[in-house]
Chains A and B, each alone.
Chain A
Amino acid sequence: MISFNEKRCVGCYACQVVCKMEKGFPVGVFGITVLKGEEADENGVFRPVFRTSLCRHCTEAQCVRICPVRAITRDQHGMVVGTPEKCIGCRLCLLACPRSVPDFTGAQRVSKCNGCVERLQVGLQPRCVASCPTAALESVTRQELSEKKRRGYLEKRWERRQGTGTPSR
């Protein structure tokens, strides 16, 4: 799956552009979207922040469960993949997805990120990950991601206790 590190993103939109190039999505459909906003730091100074809206290929994927015609399935790489030919355009997946990922603009059939399975098969990284200049996007396995999250959490706690600095390993 694809992990996103908010602290590294500079908002260059490269992922959004190459994803469209790779998949040939119609106008209005994005496999990954970069969102821009602002946040105040502890001194009250505002700084821009970027977040992404992309398919998380959830373990408990609601879209896979709810699709009445099995147009969204999980493939052997663990990716949640849409099959437009089977889709009836009922939009139940859109409403079931907490991130509103499946898109029906244009063809009235589902289009969504498939985690670039065709690139994974030949040993390449997903296109958005390969194009990210700051490594804000990374291709990780589920296990690596949970390990990373755990470490991040512990580091944060350590920082809070020590005032600053990282734990010695």
Chain B
Amino acid sequence: MKTIRKKEHILILGAGAAGLSAADAIRTASPDTPVTVVSGEKGRPYARMALPYYISGKIPLEGIMTREEKELARQGVTYIAGDPAAGIDIDRRRVVLRSNRKLPFDKLLIATGSVPEYPEMLAGTEAPGVSHLWTLEDARQIKRLAHEGSSVAVWGAGFVSFMAAKALAGHDRKVHLICRADRILRRVLDAEAADLVDRTLFEKDVLCLKNTNVEKVEVLKGGRKRVVLNDSSELTVDLFIIALGTKPNIAFLEGTPLAGKKGIEVDEYLETRIPGIYAAGDVAVVSDCVTGERITPALWSTAVMEGRGAGLNMAGARRRCDLALLMNVVDFGGYSAISIGHPLTKDAGAEVFQFTREEDRSYRRFVFKEDRLIGAIVVGACFDAGFFPMLIRRRVELTRDQKDALLRQPWDMASLLMSLPSLMQAKDLV
């Protein structure tokens, strides 16, 4: 028996990659469902990923905006900005915002993204020029304070710190990357790749201080900052950027059954244990498509996919969309390092193949398990890098000939395209 359904109201918390992809998907699947998107930040939705490019001046401010208000209105999406969710009343099915405004919902998507970690020891050093690179406000401040020839220290050596260093390099600026481990991007690159990236960084006046940590930060008179390092050396800088990683933004869910240790646990349709409440993007704990582990990938690409999948499921579809592929790209003025899947796996059954080409500083690492590619690192020339995510995500079993062809011509995947033409279709991606 089917009852006549009244129009369901869909509420989306977060206007990032996942939230807006979901709104788009709901619109295509069901054009008249009322949708409300709540953003915790003021102003129009923007692409956080593009902030470093705004700082470096590659694109104007207008370029990082993902939606215009007019466009949202035309889509029939109600947009509430600058009012983050503060709590959720699951029984009465409504969300309380910080301004105490209450929003009822029939279906809810939590896509609030992540927040950067703030180390305790920095308490008391709040000053202009000591900041994260996380929000548009941060980026504006950094852009304002980064003068020609100023010096910068970036604490952390992950993806965000790398992007910050990249954005600020040049213009006679001296940039220091304070790296706690023995190499940069330790989770995604191996020693060889990190070394190549390091060399390129050095040429652009970005100095990488390895095995180093920050002991103390002081704000001097006149606004400069003194950074004391654990090897008792000191740096005096104009800008101190903190990029020590992120955690899911789920503080407002505390005390509800939704909040898990890693994030929000979801099933394969991205629905949480409470029917009608979904999660996508950085907050959702999903399965790794290679190992099946439960992870929070915190990547733009997975957020877009999950957002779309969750949106379609909320609009009535049943699509499995919880398989995430880890995929990181860092690019330094044309020199890029791409890490896909699990290139650093400790699995004993994995076969590793490495290829180096000195003339253009290219490096590739392929990791196979049985006859499947499970991870790849591509440094330097990367025009054919798009084939690797496909091979890894679809768990393509290569024949002996195909594997040989790949290893014989590691710099050009076109040979593989010749033998796997039917795979090169996008139809089975969400």
Contacts and interface: CB of A to CB of B under 8 A. Distances in A.
A96 B308 CA distance: 15
B301 A92 contact: yes
Contacts of A154: none
Nearest to A105: B383
B414 A95 contact: no
27 contacts: A37-B415, A37-B418, A37-B419, A51-B421, A56-B425, A56-B426, A68-B47, A69-B50, A69-B59, A89-B53, A89-B58, A91-B329, A91-B382, A92-B329, A95-B301, A95-B340, A95-B385, A95-B388, A95-B389, A96-B386, A98-B425, A99-B386, A99-B424, A102-B386, A104-B336, A104-B383, A108-B334
B51 to A, nearest CB: 10
Contacts of A62: 426, 429
Nearest to B49: A68
Contacts of B333: 108
A93 to B, nearest CB: 8
Given A68-B66, A91-B329, A100-B387, A33 B414 contact: yes
Interface string A128-139: 000000000000
Contacts of B304: 65-66
A37 B415 CA distance: 8
Interface residues of B, number: 45
Given A68-B47, A88-B53, A100 B415 contact: no
B72 to A, nearest CB: 14
A19 to B, nearest CB: 16
Contacts of B50: 68-69, 88, 90
Interface in A72-104: 86, 88-92, 94-104
A103 B336 CA distance: 13
B17 interface: yes
Nearest to A88: B53
A141 interface: no
B300 interface: yes
B424 A69 contact: no
A62 B301 CA distance: 10
A153 to B, nearest CB: 13
B283 to A, nearest CB: 19
A89 B50 CA distance: 10
A58 interface: yes
B423 A98 contact: yes
A86 B58 CA distance: 9
A92 B415 CA distance: 23
Contact of A95 (B53, B66, B327, B427): B327
Interface string A30-67: 00010111000000000001010100101011100110
A55 to B, nearest CB: 11
B418 A49 contact: yes
A95 B418 contact: no
Contacts of A108: 331, 333-334
B237 interface: no
B195 interface: no
B96 interface: no
Contacts of A37: 415, 418-419
B59 A88 contact: yes
Given A33-B414, A68-B49, A90 B329 contact: yes
Contacts of B340: 95
Contacts of A36: 418
A96 B386 CA distance: 6
B285 interface: no
B97 interface: no
A40 to B, nearest CB: 12
B390 interface: yes
B385 A91 contact: yes
B385 to A, nearest CB: 6
A112 to B, nearest CB: 12
A95 B338 contact: yes
A99 B426 CA distance: 9
B429 A35 contact: no
B24 to A, nearest CB: 8
A123 interface: no
A58 B331 CA distance: 27
B64 interface: yes
B362 to A, nearest CB: 13
